[in-house]
Amino acid sequence: MREHLGDPAWFQSGSYQVFNRRARSLLDGSERLFWIDDPSRTDLVQYPPAFPWLIATIYWFTGEHSAYAVQNVQWVVDLFLTIALATGIAVTAYGWRAGVVTSFLVALSPLLAMYGVSPTADAPTTWFVLGGLWCLLLATRRDRLAWAIASGALLGVACWLRVNPLYLSFFLALALLLFWNRAWRRRLKLASSVVAATLLVVSPIVIRNYLVFPDFTPTGGTLGTNLWEGLGETELGRQHGFRLGDHLMLQRERIKIGVPADARFDIMWPDGIRRENERTRESLAFIKQHPVWYAGVMLHRMWGMLKIAGAPSPYYGSPGINVTSKKTLPPERHGGLLSLLVNFLGMVQSVTRYVLLPLAVAGMVVAVRQQGLMTALLLATIFYYLVPGSAAHTEIRYVLPVHCLLPVFAGVTLTYAFDLIFRHRSARFTAASS
C-alpha cells in the first residue's frame, strides 16, 4: 500500500488532502480545533472533526507531515485492535473456540489487511463500532447498565470519525427490545441508554452546526453527493444526467450555476449545504419515479459489499490482495524458506476468501439457535451497513464492521462442524468398545 499512496485507484488521495489541509491548519493555528467562526466555510462540515485531529496529533508526535506517518501509526494499532475486538465479540457471544477461529480468519483477511494499512478514517471508525458492539454484548450478558452506556458512547465516538454509524444505535436498541428475554422495563432501560449515550456524544457537532450555519445540517457529511453519484453508477441514471465522480458532478454544477472555470469550486464550498440539499432532492425525486428499479440497484450494491473473492465489483473498491513473495518481499528474498511460507500463506488466503461467505451464512443459522439475542445484535449491525447503507453510493471500505463480523459466524460453523464430527467419532468408538 505504501507504494500506492499517490495512486487514486488504490488510495483516496483526494479525500486525504482535505484531512491533511485541516490537520496542518490546526497545527499552525489558522483553524480552530472545533468551532467554526465563518458561516461561509461550509467545507468544514464535509467530514466529522475527529480524523483531522488524529492526523494532526500524529504529525505533531512524529514530526512528519505526510500520509506515511499516519500509516506507520495506524497499521500497528489496527493489527492488534481489529483482531482483539472481533475475537472478543466472538468469545462473548459464542465461546472461546469460536473466538480462536475468528482470530485466524480475521488475521488472514486480505480486505481487513488492506484497509488496516490505508491511512483513512475507515479502520479507526471500525474500532469504535466493534468496541461499542462488544460492550453491548457484555451489557446483555451481565445485565449491566454501565456497559450499555459505554456501548452508546463508543458508537458516538465512531460518528466523530465518520458519519456512517450515526443511526446504528437505533437498530441495536430495536434488536435489544425484540430479542432480549428480560422484563420490558429492563429492555427499555438498556436500549434507551445506548441511544441516549450515542446522541449525547454526537450532540456537540449538531449544536455547533445549528448555531453556525444558516442552512442547518445535523452532522455534515455528503449524503446528497453519494446519492447523486450513486445514480451515476447506473445506465438509467447516466441517461438522465447523473454521473459518478466528484469532478464530473462539479463540472455539471459549475456550468449550471455559472462559476468561472478558474474559480475555486469544491463539493462543499461555496454554499455547500444548500448545494448538498439540492443534490439530495434531485436524487430522491428520481428514485421515487423508479422505486422497483432502485431496489434492484441496492441489491446489486449489497452483493458488491459481500463479494470478496474473484474479480472485484466495479465502483465499490478492492477487497484486498492475496500475499505472494513477488508482491511483498524484496527481489533478493524471492527464493528460500521465507518465500515459500509467504506463498503458502497466499494460497490459504485464497481458500478462505472463497469459503468465508458460505461458512458465515451457515453460521448465522446455527448461531440463531445457540444464542438468539447475541446473534440478533450482530445481524442488526450487518443489516444496518448492508441495507440502509446501500441506499446511496457505497464502497467496501465503508462496511469494514461487516467483514469483521462475518468471520465470527464462520467460526460458529466450524466449531459446530467439529462438535458434530467429534460426537460422531466418539459414538462410533463407544459402540465399537461395547
pLDDT of residue 216: 82
Structurally, how many domains does the chain consist of?
1
pLDDT of residue 104: 96
Q: Which residues contact 299 (CB under 8 A, 6 or more apart)?
A: 390
Per-residue pLDDT band at 424 (split at 50, 70, 90): low
User: 219 pLDDT exceeds 80?
Assistant: no
Between 336 and 148, residue with greater pLDDT: 148
Cell of 247: 469532478
CA nearest to 125, candidates 407, 409, 397: 397
**What is the tens place of the pLDDT at every residue in 147-159?**
999 999 999 999 9
Mean pLDDT value of segment 407-427 = 87
Strand partners, 266: 269
Give percent of the chain with pLDDT exceeding 90. Answer: 85
- Domain span at 38: 2-433
Mean pLDDT value of segment 188-205 = 97
User: 429 pLDDT exceeds 80?
Assistant: no
**Burial of residue 265 (number of CB atoms within 10 Å: 0-12, 13-18, 19+):** middle
Between 187 and 223, residue with greater pLDDT: 187
Within 13 Å and on the Cβ side, how many CA atoms surround 155?
Answer: 31
User: 415 pLDDT exceeds 90?
Assistant: yes
Per-residue pLDDT band at 17 (split at 50, 70, 90): very high
Task: Tell me which H or E stretch contains 156.
Answer: helix 145-161
Per-residue pLDDT band at 282 (split at 50, 70, 90): very high
The per-residue pLDDT of the chain, averaged, comes to 94
Least confident interval from 116-120, 207-211, 215-219, 346-350? 215-219
| Phi, psi angle pair for 421, to nearest 5° | -65, -45
User: 430 pLDDT exceeds 70?
Assistant: no
Per-residue pLDDT band at 426 (split at 50, 70, 90): low
User: 16 pLDDT exceeds 80?
Assistant: yes
Per-residue pLDDT band at 92 (split at 50, 70, 90): very high
User: 61 pLDDT exceeds 70?
Assistant: yes
Distance CA 360, CA 179 (A): 21
pLDDT of residue 215: 84
Least confident interval from 134-143, 211-220, 224-233? 211-220
User: 314 pLDDT exceeds 70?
Assistant: yes
pLDDT of residue 434: 64
User: 179 pLDDT exceeds 80?
Assistant: yes
Distance CA 388, CA 232 (A): 19
